[in-house]
Amino acid sequence: MPSRVPRIAPSEITPPETYCNRRAFLAGAVAAGAALGSAGAAVIPARAGTPLHYAYDARDSVDALVDAPDQNRTPNTLEQISDYNNYYEFGTGKTDPAEYAGRLQTRPWNVAVGGEAEITGSFPLEEFLRPYALEERIYRFRCVEAWSMVIPWVGFPLAQMLTRFKPTSRAKYVVFETLYRPSQMPGQRVPILQWPYREGLRIDEAMNPLAFMVVGLYGRVLPNQNGAPLRLIVPWKYGFKGIKAIVRIAFTEVQPLTTWSQAAPDEYGFYANVNPNVPHPRWSQESERRIGNPFFHERQPTLMFNGYANEVAYLYKGMNLHRFF
């Protein structure tokens, strides 16, 4: 254990995931950071719910990372976050993933990295994640809004991961792929979507500090239905960009085909930025309901880029967002 890190019993610390309020969060952050006892020991346990070491790193902070859209949002409960999911590999019902994803074996797990990068290959998850478990790069805590919920994710910035593989100047996009394993993913035995599920980002979007690779939730290993062992969160985009159970990452020169835009090109574009001004062909996107809100049926106005415009609007300067939706 590094000597400059004082030992503090976990019980003395107010867990930061109990609030998503920025000011309260910053006050609690120091203590949370000091709780990193055996940093670097286990890379990441396989079992959902196992406590994870994580820290809040002030160097990593812009206001938006914690709670941009709203100053006093209470995070959704673990039950809300893990009992109501979209994960078509386990079925199209919102409770199918909670019911069936437990059978997915998340070890051994390999992540293949390919395409326009200097370092490519297939990496066992432990090796893939090892840098983030080292003392200086411990998992980060971030409270972000996604899919009408406020969720205390644990993970690390996507940019930090991508730069390790030294993408070349030809890398204009990055594409992600989900595991294809029909024996454990019953939804894949049915052609609901073109399997495996695929998502992509433009490289500058992927390098924005808000794009986040997730390994945990509420300070613990991610439940399978939320995308264990590794999933993406892109807070300014619609939920479907947050691909789960990632096994392949590739850097490409051309814009990749993505599952939902292949399935319904008029309804789902490559960008999928949260945008109240661009209606979905079959519904308005001007307002949303907050899951878990006691006033659930009250709709709130949807904010441009999900409230993160200050952080991401520069990515789309001069682009026609009706055309590139």
Question: Where in 80-99 is the site for Mo ion (CB under 5 A)?
Answer: 86
Q: How far apart are CA 32 and CA 38, in angstroms?
A: 14
Instruction: Give 152: exposed, middle or buried? Use CB within 10 Å, 0-12, 13-18, 19+.
Output: buried
Question: Counting contacts by CB under 6 A, is residue 242 touching ligand MTE?
Answer: yes
Question: Where in 58-97 is the site for ligand MTE (CB under 6 A)?
Answer: 85-89
- Return the SS3 of 157: strand
Long-range CB pairs of 92-96, under 8 A, 24+ apart, other chains included: 92/187, 92/192, 96/187
Question: Counting contacts by CB under 5 A, is residue 240 touching Mo ion?
Answer: yes
Quick one: what does residue 243 bind among ligand MTE, Mo ion, none, with the CB cut-off 5 to 8 Å set by partner type?
ligand MTE
- Phi/psi at 141 (nearest 5 deg)? -105, 135
- Closest CB 19 distance from Mo ion, rounded Å: 26
Q: How far apart are CA 283 and CA 138, in angstroms?
A: 41
Question: Counting contacts by CB under 5 A, is residue 252 touching Mo ion?
Answer: no
Quick one: what does residue 87 bind among Mo ion, ligand MTE, none, with the CB cut-off 5 to 8 Å set by partner type?
ligand MTE
Burial code of 66-75, b = ≥16 C-beta within 10 A, e = fewer?
A: bbbbeeebeb
Do the Cβ atoms of 90 and 96 come closer than 8 Å? yes
Omega of the bond leading into 108 within 30 degrees of 0 (cis): yes
Which residue's CB is nearer to ligand MTE, number 140 or number 244? Answer: 244
Question: Where in 166-225 is the site for ligand MTE (CB under 6 A)?
Answer: 178, 197
Beta bridge mates, 213: 156, 232
Pick the stretch among 109-117, 193-201, 240-248, 259-267 that binds Mo ion (CB under 5 A).
Answer: 240-248
Quick one: what does residue 25 bind among ligand MTE, Mo ion, none, with the CB cut-off 5 to 8 Å set by partner type?
none
Which residue's CB is nearer to ligand MTE, number 75 or number 167? Answer: 75
Question: Counting contacts by CB under 6 A, is residue 141 touching ligand MTE?
Answer: no
Pick the stretch among 46-54, 117-125, 236-244, 267-275 that binds ligand MTE (CB under 6 A).
Answer: 236-244
- Closest CB 141 distance from Mo ion, rounded Å: 24
Beta-strand ranges (E) seen in the chain are: 110-115, 121-124, 140-146, 149-157, 173-178, 198-202, 212-217, 220-221, 231-233, 246-252, 287-289, 299-301
Quick one: what does residue 244 bind among Mo ion, ligand MTE, none, with the CB cut-off 5 to 8 Å set by partner type?
ligand MTE
- Closest CB 85 distance from ligand MTE, rounded Å: 3
Quick one: what does residue 273 bind among Mo ion, ligand MTE, none, with the CB cut-off 5 to 8 Å set by partner type?
none
A 10 A CB-CB count for 59 gives: 4
Which residue's CB is nearer to ligand MTE, number 129 or number 179? Answer: 179
- Closest CB 295 distance from ligand MTE, rounded Å: 21
Q: How far apart are CA 211 and CA 197, in angstroms?
A: 19
Burial code of 125-146, b = ≥16 C-beta within 10 A, e = fewer?
A: beebbeebbeeebbbbbbbbbb
Q: How far apart are CA 30 and CA 43, in angstroms?
A: 23
Question: Counting contacts by CB under 6 A, is residue 325 touching ligand MTE?
Answer: no
- Please identify which residue in 64, 143, 243, 303 interacts with ligand MTE, judged by CB under 6 A: 243
Residues near Mo ion (CB under 5 A) are 86, 239-240
Residues near ligand MTE (CB under 6 A) are 85-89, 147, 178, 197, 226-227, 239-240, 242-245
